[in-house]
Structure 1
């Protein structure tokens, strides 16, 4: 699995990071899954395409975890997934390994995503109905209420990214924790 990938700059960067850290951190470069170039794909929403691309890499991730487990001097103590790769939490669950989400955006945006998911799932409210209104939302972590009209436009568009944002926030809750940027705006 540790062969040089197509992107040599990425490979060199991860090798540099690995050599700069303790031996407890290991980077594994997965081979790229072969995308399906059908006509059907060209008509799909880009967010759905990304989700399907990540999904197509699950088997490669399983193989990498098995390789690490079978390596005598290694132990998998957790799996950290990028905020766009939350479907890989399924692989961690299969191996009974705790997963953490790396969320490089701000803690404020994370709070908004999680609260929009609560509003949608628990309160059964359609957040898109707040578009262009003066409705203010109580968002845990914010000192003041947040005007709904300042939410990311995709969350307020019935055909935007709301469904994906809510599904992603649900997956965040399945992880053991979230590594978040507390200094971002």
Structure 2
């Protein structure tokens, strides 16, 4: 690849566009499948946030990750990622999405919802890198820490905790 800056930008921009197109196709396929996969937050008719949510069994990478091993045999739902448009951050959208995920899971018979946010003790990162949320965000939405940062994580991995909201037990 040419080391020229314009060529590098063009290369990475094209990769992002291809990735975004693939992500959109995958999301449309999930919606059409009827399987639960998440919720969208709107401001009027404008989408401003998204939270991925569904049964843990529907997320094999969550089951096999060193960061997110099972705590027990409870058939929890998980919220592995979330996103709020920059213009709508710090307005309570994340809290609303996290609470809505609990309501969504409850209506489908889930006993609890888990997330794996960045630890409060971790160094601050750019908001774009916090796609799995922060411990404080989950706590504000009524989730409780059920496991701290795993000490055996490979060097450089994001220090994440496990937070759980029991259905019917979240603070409003």
Higher Cα Rg, which structure: 1
TM-score by length of 1: 0.29
TM-score by length of 2: 0.31
Query: If each structure's helix is expressed as a fraction of its own residues, which one has the higher value?
Result: 1
Query: If each structure's strand is expressed as a fraction of its own residues, which one has the higher value?
Result: 2
